[in-house]
Amino acid sequence: MDAIVLVGGEGTRLRPLTYDIPKQMLPIVDRSMIEHVVGWLARHGIDRVVLSVGYRPDAFVEAFPEGELCGVRLAYAVEPEPLDTAGAVAFAAESASVRDTFLVLNGDVLTDFDLGSLLEFHRDRGGAATIGLTPVADPSSFGVVPTDSESRVTAFIEKPAPGTAPTNLINAGCYVLEPSVLELVPTGRRVSIERETFPALAEHGVLYALSSDAYWIDTGTPEKFVRASLDVLHGLRTAASLPSVPESARGAFVDPSALVLGRVGPATFVGRGALIAEGSEIADSVVSEDAVVEAGARISGSVVMAGARIGARAVLESSIVGPGADVGPSCNVSGFSVLGARCNLEAGSTLVAARFPSE
């Protein structure tokens, strides 16, 4: 079966990181987000993934030049301009010749949703499309999906005003579609599956939905992006998401080639060739390959990407440091700050909930 994975968004909420790296190429613990997604699809027997790319397609092609990932064949559908979600699906289906029942996934969602039961449910109901649903505390920043007693979708309300949603079950960003749905998507302009296609299918009574309590997160904001890694390390996901290095202490995963002289606490990943100097402390964090954490630095609730340096006595709390970035000695970075690739933060600087460099 084919799956179309939407990876064309610009990742605006993760800027300036996403100026260099598309969101789905950013690391979640030890591998890119797209590898987590394709791995999950592979475990459900999907044999071809069509990546619907617009923004920075070169980053994906360079990373996976063999056209294969996790044992799954990869095809690329590169949009000449962003066509929005339904436009992107129709374009990808056409350019990769998708002919049978297929899956569509939002590429920035990480989940352990059981796709086997979603497919079975879809076949059982016989609708044109079936949406996977997940419960959330605040549905206002998602697609809200009320259903009737037969699981038929009665309306699709994208991003309702706070306090107005009729249910807390939201579109989990995974769908089963029949090719007939594509006939509803006009060509030559942007078309949103959430604002046009699903409401039309709901009106015709041919749209169904199945909810699941399986692990689910949309990684679009800095806070959720960090959380996605910590959830893996806290064991909230299936074992397949865990890093492949041995667990040295409970929840601490340290690559054997890393040199650790400081203290590495629980729920921490230290990648290949990283150096953790004496007197430093790391907890609830990811320190990727070849990163350097100098003496006396303290890191918690953060993601430090490949080759970055955290200077002596710097404090990094709930923040993201891009690949190759240099955080000078005695800096204080907190509040879900995002530091771009290869930036230099001068010694002694303080950043709270900031973007650096700023736009």
Residues in the site for ligand GDD, rule: CB under 6 A? Answer: 6-9, 52, 54, 79, 82-85, 88, 106-109, 142-143, 158, 170-171, 173, 194, 218, 220
Residue 146 touches which member of Mg ion, ligand GDD, none, C-beta under 5-8 Å by kind: none
Question: To which residue do tokens 């399986």 refer?
Answer: 214
The option from Mg ion, ligand GDD, none interacting with 130 (CB < 5 to 8 A, set by class) reads none
The residue among 13, 12, 6, 75 whose CA lies nearest residue 34 is 6
Helix (H) or strand (E) holding 145: none
Query: Of these partners, ligand GDD, Mg ion, none, which one is at the site of residue 88 (CB under 5 to 8 Å by kind)?
Result: ligand GDD
Q: Which of ligand GDD, Mg ion, none lies near 158, with the C-beta cut-off 5 to 8 A by kind?
A: ligand GDD
- Do residues 197 and 184 make contact, with C-beta atoms less than 8 angstroms apart? yes
Sort 71 into a burial class: Cβ within 10 Å, 0-12 / 13-18 / 19+: exposed
Q: Report which of 256, 253, 279, 249 is spatially closest to residue 268, judged by C-alpha positions.
A: 253
If you ran DSSP here, which 8-state letter would residue 181 be given? G
Question: Nearest approach, Cβ of 43 to Mg ion (angstroms)?
Answer: 22
Any idea which residue has 């179309």 for tokens?
4
Closest approach, Cβ 314 to ligand GDD, in A, equals 32
Distance, C-alpha 219 to centroid of its chain? 5
CB of 167 to ligand GDD, least distance (A): 12
Q: Does residue 218 touch Mg ion according to CB under 5 A?
A: yes
Closest CA to 96 of 2, 227, 193: 2
Closest CB to ligand GDD among residues 38, 304: 38
Residue 237 carries which DSSP code?
A: S
| 156 versus 253: smaller Cβ distance to ligand GDD | 156
In whole angstroms, what is the distance from residue 259 CA to residue 101 CA? 49
**Which of Mg ion, ligand GDD, none sits in contact with 133, Cβ below 5 to 8 A by type?**
none
Pick the closer one to ligand GDD by CB: 218 or 326.
218
Can residue 294 be called a binding residue for Mg ion (CB under 5 A)?
no
104 binds, among Mg ion, ligand GDD, none (CB under 5 to 8 A by kind): none
The CB density around residue 233, as the number of other CB atoms within 10 Å, is 23
Site residues for Mg ion, 54-73, by CB under 5 A, read none
Q: Which among 41, 183, 118, 200 is positioned nearest to 51, based on CA atoms?
A: 41
> Tokens 């086997």 identify what position?
116
Measure CA 186 to chain center. 28
- CB-nearer residue toward Mg ion: 34 or 293: 34
Nearer to ligand GDD, 202 or 260 (CB): 202
Q: How far is the CB of 171 from Mg ion (least distance, A)?
A: 10
Collect contacts of 327-330 with beta carbons under 8 A, ≥24 apart: 329/294
Which of 108, 194, 196, 289: binder of Mg ion (CB under 5 A)? Answer: 108
**Residue 80: CB minimum distance to ligand GDD, A:** 11
Tokens representing 290 are 């070849």
CB of 113 to ligand GDD, least distance (A): 12
Task: Check residue 255 for interaction with Mg ion (CB under 5 A).
Answer: no
Binding partner of residue 85 among ligand GDD, Mg ion, none, CB cut-off 5 to 8 Å per kind: ligand GDD
CB of 271 to ligand GDD, least distance (A): 25
Pick from 132, 115, 126, 122: which is nearest to 46 by CA?
A: 115
Q: Which does 243 bind (CB under 5 to 8 A by kind): Mg ion, ligand GDD, none?
A: none
- Residue 212's binding partner among Mg ion, ligand GDD, none (Cβ under 5 to 8 angstroms by kind) is none
Which two three-digit tokens encode residue 71? 């044992």
Compute the distance between CA of residue 283 and CA of residue 342 in angstroms, rounded to an integer. 24
Indicate whether 84 belongs to the interface with Mg ion (CB under 5 A).
Answer: no
Q: Which residues bind Mg ion (CB under 5 A)?
A: 108, 218, 220
